[in-house]
Structure 1
Amino acid sequence: MAPRQLPPLPQYRRDAVTRRLCATTHLDESFARDVRREFTADRLKANGLPLGVNLVALVRHAEAAWRRLELRDRHLSFVLCGVAGALLGAVASLGQGSSAGVLGFLLLLVALFCCGAVLVCRAEHQARQAALEVYRGSRKSADLAPPVAAEVEDRLRELRRANVLPYDASFESTNPFVGSGRKIKEVVWESIDISRAADSPTGGKLTAKPFDAVDLHTYVAEEMADIVGLEGLRAQNRLYVNGLSALHLPDLLPDRLQRPAVRVPRQYVQSAVVQSGAGMRTYLSLEMVGEGGRIVVSMHLRARLLHPRLSWEVAAYVLPPLQHRFGTVGFLPLGGFEYWWSLLRFGMAHTWRGVWGAPGRAARRRGDQARYARELEKTRRSITKQHLAYDYGATDSLRNHCSDWGAMGHTERTDSRDTFLRLQQGVLIATERFLQDHNIDTGDFDRAQQVIATQTYNISGDITGNANIGSNGQINTYGQPGAAQGGN
């Protein structure tokens, strides 16, 4: 049957969230600092999962934005030195009664002020252009900023396919799946009897095929995408480790003075499926990124196989859309008089503060880095000399840190519900097929499935604002703009 021919509608860009985050690094200094501290700075804590964000592109743009800010403040510091010199010269000329000298130094002050205004406006113009290019342009976001250190980019690429995640011990009682968003379901499904062999079509009983939890996890991971019909569904067995237990797994923490690895040998992951370790359990993680990355639904499953009964441990989470402040770039003027007038107004409002505060901002950056390095070195000494029990677990993901549950609208709630129900039904179908393939009687499974099917969940929240359709029919943003962010 031929598909119905219908006109195409504008679609959200698949990497819309990444582009908005990259653009914000150019407009918000604090966000650029947070990204650099999280992913490029020397640290001991594990990083959270990307969850639909291209971390390589994000770090590249954060580094480019940071270098621009440092260069701007370096130049403005020179301007401030010139201003101080001109003021001293004017005072000296005034004391000597030289009106020509005073006039000359005053003209120099005006020239220096104009120079500072040019530097401030140029930096803001470059920041806005970089933000608009990554947000509205057609090139890949990672190609619009220079690369960072190769080892950093390699680690971030590996993080996308991480098969192990240490989590901070403080989250043990609430959400070991750190950074996954808000919990919408946590349950252990009705257990089923798997001790009886299925009936043979020719009479008698079939011979049951032996299996373990690893076989079941592998089968569900391989078949889920075809069963549920969700394009882009990611399924992976991942070992979740209590951060205080990370040091007991040498392949996870080969060096106690460095951050944990993001991948361990597959055998460790499989071993924790069959039997959990000390603060170590493997879950089959299903991750579905919604349209444009607006929401991320994740389901974490663990087969509990204790012969003769089988059950599933299920935990589901939803990541809501980004906070409104990450939509600021969508409301920047694109050009013409409005763009240049807003840039001029920005320069007039920020030039004096930019020039006067440049040395202080540079000093604060250096001070923050030095303080962070001292604290890290102190922690490392405590680990080596005092044998400190350090928690290497991640505390959050960047995607969750930037999200806002209040931005969940009707579409996001219904899409989340649909995705969750599809995943739930897909796991049930895959489990039934697996048991049938192994000649296990599914009569008890049918009874348990009716109980599971009656379980429901609810997502609540509001969202306001209209969509903003950019070039090539791509919808880039939604929601109301936050407070305007400058490039400083």
Structure 2
Amino acid sequence: MISGRRAGTSGARRRDFRPLPCGKPDDRGCSAATLGELLRCRGTRSNCRSFELSRGALMRCPRCHYENPDGYAYCGGCGRKPSDITAARPEPETAERNVEATRYLCAAMHFDSALARIVVENVLEEPRRAVAQSPAVDLDAVCRHAVAARRRHTVRDIALAGLLIGFIVYTVVGPGLSLGLGVVFELFDAVLGGVVYLAVLGWGIVFAEGYLARWGATASSLRHKAFGSAGTPPVRGALARGQMPHVSRNADGNITIYQGYNPFLGHGWSVRGWSFAIDITKPGRADDPVDTFTVADLYQRLNKSITDLDVPGIRVYDRLFVNGADAHHDDRFVPDPEDCPVDSIDEATMTALMAHPEDHARPYLATEIIGWNGEFVWSAFIRLVISDTSLFVEVNYCVLPPLREIYHEIDDLLLRPALKPVLRLMWGSLRALPRLALRCIPNSLHYVLGPWRFRRKLRRQLDEIEQSFTFDHGAVISIREAASDLRRHKGQLSLGYQRHFQLLDEQMYTKTVEKRVIDTLGDYLAEHNIATAELRRRAEQIVNSNVSIGGDVNLVNSAIGGQSAVVSMAATHSGRKPTES
């Protein structure tokens, strides 16, 4: 919106202003009095650069790093108030713990070419879809590294494709130029010798790319204690640069617009859950009437109670979940059907949805606990519905397992390549050569035709919006989920815990938050003179249904939980495979 310039440090500090194009100069920065005025001015942002700050301090926005004048009312980059940005930022200690998860995920972009391609094509090339939240991860840094890795992988594929095409041309045309009876033998010799040369040169190309990924300049910035957002590679492509603000806004938003069946996209896989309904018309003291209450007050009480838990890395906030197809016809979530959906909703809309539930838009009180340097994320989603006679409580637990162990390779590499890692890379490059050779030509054509594919995708989506009844604006994938460690056993996927204590932490977080939720509900209902005997019975059923027994146990004529025990959600984890559109 407005631009500041640093001048020389000599002389007294002063501010010189020129009027903005709107004719309302303001000594605090932009003249826009409201956020709406600022958003309307964003279309002429380049014209507003006539405003100059020749002397005075510049304040960098902690969210988008845009330089604003001291005392600015709204950020010229992201349009947020300074107070809102500060409130949304994690505590410094928590942010420091989460750096490792971002660092490993950035390294994953360089080590896994398929993952980098999925991120670029399903996140940065989807301007009409939402971006899934990734807890404990800086999506801006991850996307920047994905673009850089994708560029290097493309150079490798083009080099292999050129080598393969040259070999084919030489094999077909070269021997045919010579005459005589030895054409067949010359062809055989050319193929046999060419295959050897082709394999050696191709091996060298694959090895060189892998060497740069592990010991190049970018790899040095991904090492422990050297990683930082300031060292992320720049985004060169115009398309990716245009999507980066969209990614950053969604990363800090309070709404999830998803595709498919599972609403908790980005928060991992559902491990269990429970729900019950209790009568709120029975008074606890027969002589006194029941005190009425609102669902907003109960949400607020739960928020404060869970936040007060002495658990490191805990965060409690409101979050709305909407299916991308349902959001298409709702201008609260998709103001322009031909554009991307909103990344946040205001507090008034969230409170209204809590008080008056809708089928397609479900607000939840989200609790996140981030541990293991950001690699393990446990989440609970609490939903309350109050009618004239009952209170319905729903709780879902989700877990983001650690990143795949192969992405931790960046920590095993020395600053200077040693013999053993180099030999291991040479062997790995040789094993990967046949697969890369088969895919190099299709991958190269895929990249070269990228601008045409993107325009075709936009036209196809626009036709779908104009001609069809609906369009799914939901996020295609979750970057964090796509890199998670999942184990396949007997045809089923399970969470890939890499330490036994991570499984124990999941149980500890579940039981700790579960107890606090039930205790808070009991205290709140008792304060409003509502009988809590039914709540206590339900709580016993929930606790009994979640009992974990380890070791060898023989039960004879025994039962756990009683005949009315709650049947909890099965702890199976259906893998959510990323799909390309």
Which whole-Å deviations, capped at 9, do the CAs of 1:379-403 have from their partners, x for residues lacking one? 321211x243222234653333333
Answer 1 or 2: higher relative contact order, Cα 8 Å, separation at least 6. Answer: 1
Mapping for residues 103-182 of structure 1, pairs under 5 Å: 119-129=205-215, 133=220, 136-148=223-235, 151-168=242-259, 170-171=260-261, 175-182=262-269
1:428 paired residue number: 518
**Residue type of the partner of 1:159?**
N
In the alignment, is the contact (CA less than 8 A) between 1:287 and 1:296 conserved in 2? Answer: yes
Q: TM (normalized to structure 1)? A: 0.73
2:528 paired residue number: 440
Query: Residues 220, 32 of structure 1: CA spacing in aligned structure 2 closer, same or farther, 3 A cutoff?
Result: same
Which whole-Å deviations, capped at 9, do the CAs of 1:144-168 have from their partners, x for residues lacking one? 4224355533333322332222233
2:192 paired residue number: none
**Residue type of the partner of 1:423?**
V
The structure 1 residue matched to 2:301, chosen from 214, 219, 224, is: 219
Which whole-Å deviations, capped at 9, do the CAs of 1:44-99 have from their partners, x for residues lacking one? 33332212222112111111111222334455666678878988998699779xxx
Which whole-Å deviations, capped at 9, do the CAs of 1:94-128 have from their partners, x for residues lacking one? 779xxxxxxxxxxxx99999887665443221111
1:193 paired residue number: 280
Give the Å deviation of 1:299: 1.2
Which whole-Å deviations, capped at 9, do the CAs of 1:170-210 have from their partners, x for residues lacking one? 41xxx3323433333333234253675989xxxx96995x6
Q: TM (normalized to structure 2)? A: 0.62
2:151 paired residue number: 67
**Residue type of the partner of 2:465?**
I
In the alignment, is the contact (CA less than 8 A) between 1:413 and 1:459 conserved in 2? Answer: no
In the alignment, is the contact (CA less than 8 A) between 2:323 and 2:474 conserved in 1? Answer: yes
Mapping for residues 76-475 of structure 1, pairs under 5 Å: 119-129=205-215, 133=220, 136-148=223-235, 151-168=242-259, 170-171=260-261, 175-193=262-280, 196=283, 208=291, 211-226=293-308, 228-329=309-410, 335-344=417-426, 359-367=441-449, 370-371=452-453, 373-384=455-466, 386-394=467-475, 396-403=477-484, 404=486, 405-408=494-497, 410-432=500-522, 434=524, 439-441=527-529, 444-445=531-532, 447-455=534-542, 456-457=545-546
Which whole-Å deviations, capped at 9, do the CAs of 1:297-331 have from their partners, x for residues lacking one? 21111122224543422222223333444445455
Query: Residues 206, 85 of structure 1: CA spacing in aligned structure 2 closer, same or farther, 3 A cutoff?
Result: closer
Identical amino acids, percent of aligned pairs: 23
Report the secondary structure of 2:142's partner residue. Answer: helix
User: Going by fraction, where is helix more abundant, 1 or 2?
Assistant: 1
Give the Å deviation of 1:429: 3.6
In the alignment, is the contact (CA less than 8 A) between 1:289 and 1:297 conserved in 2? Answer: yes
2:549 and 2:375 map into 1 onto residues whose CA distance is 16
Report the secondary structure of 2:373's partner residue. Answer: helix
In the alignment, is the contact (CA less than 8 A) between 1:295 and 1:416 conserved in 2? Answer: no
* Stretch of structure 1 that moved more, 148-157 or 51-60: 148-157
1:48 paired residue number: 132
* Stretch of structure 1 that moved more, 301-310 or 79-88: 79-88
In the alignment, is the contact (CA less than 8 A) between 1:238 and 1:284 conserved in 2? Answer: yes
* Stretch of structure 1 that moved more, 131-140 or 152-161: 131-140
1:164 and 1:251 map into 2 onto residues whose CA distance is 11
**Residue type of the partner of 1:273?**
M
Gaps of 5+ in 2: 1-95, 181-194, 487-493, 551-581
In the alignment, is the contact (CA less than 8 A) between 2:283 and 2:289 conserved in 1? Answer: no
Query: Residues 389, 349 of structure 1: CA spacing in aligned structure 2 closer, same or farther, 3 A cutoff?
Result: closer
2:439 and 2:395 map into 1 onto residues whose CA distance is 53
CA RMSD of aligned residues (A): 4.1
Give the Å deviation of 1:412: 2.2
In the alignment, is the contact (CA less than 8 A) between 2:123 and 2:476 conserved in 1? Answer: no
**Residue type of the partner of 2:251?**
R
Query: Residues 371, 94 of structure 1: CA spacing in aligned structure 2 closer, same or farther, 3 A cutoff?
Result: same
2:9 paired residue number: none
Query: Residues 87, 352 of structure 1: CA spacing in aligned structure 2 closer, same or farther, 3 A cutoff?
Result: farther
2:277 and 2:126 map into 1 onto residues whose CA distance is 46
In the alignment, is the contact (CA less than 8 A) between 1:192 and 1:311 conserved in 2? Answer: no
In the alignment, is the contact (CA less than 8 A) between 2:306 and 2:516 conserved in 1? Answer: yes
2:281 and 2:174 map into 1 onto residues whose CA distance is 93
In the alignment, is the contact (CA less than 8 A) between 1:26 and 1:61 conserved in 2? Answer: yes
In the alignment, is the contact (CA less than 8 A) between 2:288 and 2:529 conserved in 1? Answer: no
2:440 and 2:272 map into 1 onto residues whose CA distance is 50
